A and B are shown apart, each in its own frame.
Chain A
Amino acid sequence: MPVSQVRFRPAEKKRRILIVEDELINREILKTILQDDYELVLAGTGTEAQNAIHEQFDTLSLILLDLNLPDIHGLDLLRETKSDIRYAHIPVVVLTADSDAEVDCLSLGAIDFIPKPYPRPEVVLARVLRTIELSEDRDILRWTERDQLTGLYNKEFFYHYAAQLDAHQKDCLTDAILIDVNSFHMLNERYGKSFGDEILRSIGKKTLEIVETTGGVACRSESDTFLVYCPHRTDYDSVLKQLSAFVNETVLGRGENIVRLRMGVYAGVNREIDIERRFDRAKIAANTVKGNFSRPIGFYDESMHEAELLEAQLIESFPRAIRERQFEVYYQPKFDVRAENPVLSSAEALIRWRHPTLGLVSPAKFIPLFEKNGLIYRLDSYVWSEAAAQIRCWKDQLGICLPVSVNVSRVDLFEPKLIDLLLEITGKNGLSHEELLLEITESAYTEDSEQIVEKVRRLRGLGFRIEMDDFGSGYSSLNMLSTLPIDALKLDMQFIRNAFREKKDTRLLEAMIQLARSFELPTIAEGVETAEQVSTLKTMGCDIIQGYYFSRPLPAAEFEEFLMKNKPRSVE
């Protein structure tokens, strides 16, 4: 029964039964037995029954059908009812004294029999009620186990059936597959929800066809994500091509190809891990090819497993790391190169994690992870506090006033208490707001930009100076430079490295520095390693330089020595 036809019946309303019986006496007896508990519709001929079914199919809970009718044979009426998708869900109980007819009736879809003469009324009532209840349970099961849009299983039932598959095919190598649509939300936005639904329906249809041929189960787990659990195979390239071709042809017509699918394959699953975890692995594999149109299938391997374990370990050890101050703040100097001799103008605070068992962990490993799960705010808060305390310490102990820039993640900008916290930290350490520079990555401005820009504008209004980090790595419009609340542009390290590669081509770099100048924004180049790079950047008009040329990032104690040798302005 199609899900849309699941009936809603108010609890107080009696269920409705159609009695198809041409013999008046039999009909009257059944009526007497059933009338207190059910609403009855009576038909004395096959034609009357056809009409009643046609008019009331969505409210009929049961049909009691006599086989010997004057105009249409009961078996024909049964066949007709069960072959019509609108009526097939109605359970039919056959009234017969002829046991020879039972096999025919069952094969045509009858659910039970009531013999003639009728059993005791209690038996008739119990049998009728049981039949209706079973049928309703079946409808509820179908309704809840299937996704309405695609007809595939829902996730919960899918996992249940996948476990059954395991139980029945103990020695069979099995694969966990995840399929989803690249940029599905964009397709929905550009072409409308019904177009998106059509994509999902066609994926569902073809996926079902594939698993019906080769064995396995499939579901739509959420939005545009489909899961398949099936016997191991090696031809996923061809499977995905078939699926993509079918989907594009269904929704767009032959030759078009705007719906791009990607697939994550965890082949030969380890059955010792939870079924849900197996699909987590398929998802990890799928994520490795996100947006990669030339390689749309990712296969889960041991390195991903190791990365997964590392991530779990890092997350688990985070609270203790904060408590035990395992995170260390390093400082890398920034030099103002506008005058003939470079002058130390500020430093960037950089985090390092000295893990008790893993050793020194690269920020590239834990920062993206903590940005994903929200722990970054706690980590950044820690760095901000450490950096502010350090500025205070240098002021007090060395008599040196050196502003330090700290990273503010995009995630931090959504924290409602961010501004209060920064004010608290600077206030607690007796710093002016411009001494704690805030580096905000360019990509932060491109997502939910209105909210972010507003927050940054408020920070700037309070006197914090904003450096746009990684400029040149993202997609921000150059036009935005005139409107964004920023005080300096920090050029992306990779961008600078590319410009100074073997075939040195610094034209774009120079154009960007000039562009920043035209907006009266100083530029900061990071990742600068050689005297030649310093000289070229200086000639181009770059204002501040940071990188190994001057110094690698240093622990606070070492940086103090560096500071003494390169004394900037003193505290007045």
Chain B
Amino acid sequence: MTIETLAAFGANTTEGLHRCMDNESFYLRMVRMLSGDSNFQKLYDAIDVGDLTAAFEAAHALKGSSGNLALPPIYAPVCEITELLRARTEMDYGPLIERIRKGHEALKEICSE
């Protein structure tokens, strides 16, 4: 993974890098860490079983990390779902989960390069 491939994925690498004190290797290490974050799976599982509280906690955690790393393809849908889950909104979360999963899969692929 490089800064360029991450930027091509949709990351705001300038912002993310600066937040990591412009330390490129640290930034990339954090991004890799996020790609393997267990909160993704927790979110998917909680939504599957309708546990909105657990889903909220997982989404909330992902929101903070993806926001700080400036990864809009993940951060944007995670923000959306977090607010809905905070209000414990009963709805079909499928489309949102799909967007998150798509971003997550794409990130994992970049990270494995």
Q: Could you say which interface size class chain B belongs to?
A: 20 to 34
Tell me whether B20 and A32 are in contact (CB under 8 A): yes
Query: How far does the alpha carbon of A24 sit from the alpha carbon of B61 in the complex, in Å?
Result: 10
B contact residues vs A (CB 8 Å cutoff): 18-21, 23, 26, 30, 33-34, 37, 57, 60-61, 63-65, 67-70, 75, 86
Tell me whether B30 and A121 are in contact (CB under 8 A): no
Tell me whether B67 and A68 are in contact (CB under 8 A): no
- Contact residues of B: prevailing secondary structure: helix
B33 proximity list for chain A (CB < 8 A): 24-25
Tell me whether A118 and B68 are in contact (CB under 8 A): yes
Excluding A22-B61, A23-B65, A25-B65, 15 further A-B contacts by CB distance (< 8 Å) are: A25-B37, A26-B65, A33-B19, A33-B21, A68-B57, A68-B61, A97-B63, A97-B64, A117-B64, A117-B68, A117-B75, A120-B18, A120-B19, A121-B18, A121-B19
Q: Which residue of B lies closest to A33 (CB)?
A: B21
B20 proximity list for chain A (CB < 8 A): 29, 32
B18 proximity list for chain A (CB < 8 A): 120-121
Known contacts being A32-B21, A121-B18, is A25 close to B68, with CB within 8 Å? yes
Task: Select which of B21, B30, B37, B70 is within 8 A of A117 by beta carbon.
Answer: B70
User: Which 6 interchain pairs have the tightest Cβ spacing?
Assistant: A117-B67, A25-B65, A117-B68, A116-B64, A32-B21, A25-B30
B64 proximity list for chain A (CB < 8 A): 23, 25-26, 97, 116-117
Tell me whether B23 and A116 are in contact (CB under 8 A): no
Q: What's the minimum C-beta distance from B100 to chain A, rounded to whole angstroms?
A: 17
Query: How far does the alpha carbon of A552 sit from the alpha carbon of B37 in the complex, in Å?
Result: 110
Q: What's the minimum C-beta distance from A166 to chain B, rounded to whole angstroms?
A: 52
B57 proximity list for chain A (CB < 8 A): 68
A28 touches B (CB below 8 Å) = yes
A29 proximity list for chain B (CB < 8 A): 19-20, 30, 68
Q: What's the minimum C-beta distance from A66 to chain B, rounded to whole angstroms?
A: 8
Interface residues in A91-131 (C-beta closer than 8 Å to B): 97-98, 116-118, 120-121
Tell me whether B19 and A116 are in contact (CB under 8 A): no
A26 proximity list for chain B (CB < 8 A): 64-65, 68
Q: Which residue of B lies closest to A26 (CB)?
A: B64
Query: How far does the alpha carbon of A24 sit from the alpha carbon of B30 in the complex, in Å?
Result: 9
B60 proximity list for chain A (CB < 8 A): 68, 97
B21 proximity list for chain A (CB < 8 A): 32-33, 121
Q: What's the minimum C-beta distance from B13 to chain A, rounded to whole angstroms?
A: 14
A116 proximity list for chain B (CB < 8 A): 63-64, 67-68
A120 proximity list for chain B (CB < 8 A): 18-19
- Chosen A-B contacts, 24 in total, with CB atoms closer than 8 Å, are A22-B61, A23-B61, A24-B33, A25-B64, A25-B68, A25-B69, A28-B30, A29-B20, A29-B30, A32-B23, A33-B19, A68-B57, A68-B61, A97-B60, A97-B63, A97-B67, A117-B19, A117-B64, A117-B68, A118-B19, A120-B19, A121-B18, A121-B19, A121-B21
